[in-house]
Structure 1
Amino acid sequence: MKSVHINDIKSNLNSINLIDIRESIEFLSLPKLAQATHIPMSELLQAPEDFLNKEISYYLICRSGARTFRVTEYLEHLGYDVINVEGGMLEYYSK
């Protein structure tokens, strides 16, 4: 599984396909990144083909990186090019 730490991609956020998989209530009530597309984890897992193209790379972010670890593993198994963003939003806003 491919992973990258949030600190390693901070300067590239405008040039990557970043997906925030936090559920809607969490996404709406906590800080977010303007560069990220919001697709709740439950919706993404239910129908990944509605949101993702197997020819495009996507970076997945959540609060801490734990959920994206599991989702990245699953989507990779289905043939999607996904990268887990370690550290998540907690790390991004901690500095």
Structure 2
Amino acid sequence: MLSMLVVTDRPIDQQSSFTSEGEHSSEAIDAIRLRHGFMPVGELLELTKTGNSVLDPYSTLVAQGVRIGRDNVIYPGVTILCDCVSACVLGGAGTPCGLPL
């Protein structure tokens, strides 16, 4: 199995994805993802059009600059980071998976 992590020095704050009523808002979740440089959930789901399987798009974080090929299986808990000076490419038929804690 393949695991990929490119570390950046970008700080992560403790923003909440809850609405004022205490419910999750998909717009709030996407706004937080975008603020930290990650693809919104809808963009992750678009990857399925090229044969990719994103098993849990809500626990999967992929940086906006990452290019993903075809027929990959992306398991829950995967985070793929890429800073602004690196090129991050995941080819085809790979299986990135989360690392155990």
The higher relative CO (CA closer than 8 Å, separation ≥ 6) is in 1
Structure (1/2) with the larger strand percentage: 1
Q: TM-score, normalised by structure 1?
A: 0.26
- From the CA coordinates, give the structure whose radius of gyration is larger: 2
Structure (1/2) with the larger helix percentage: 1
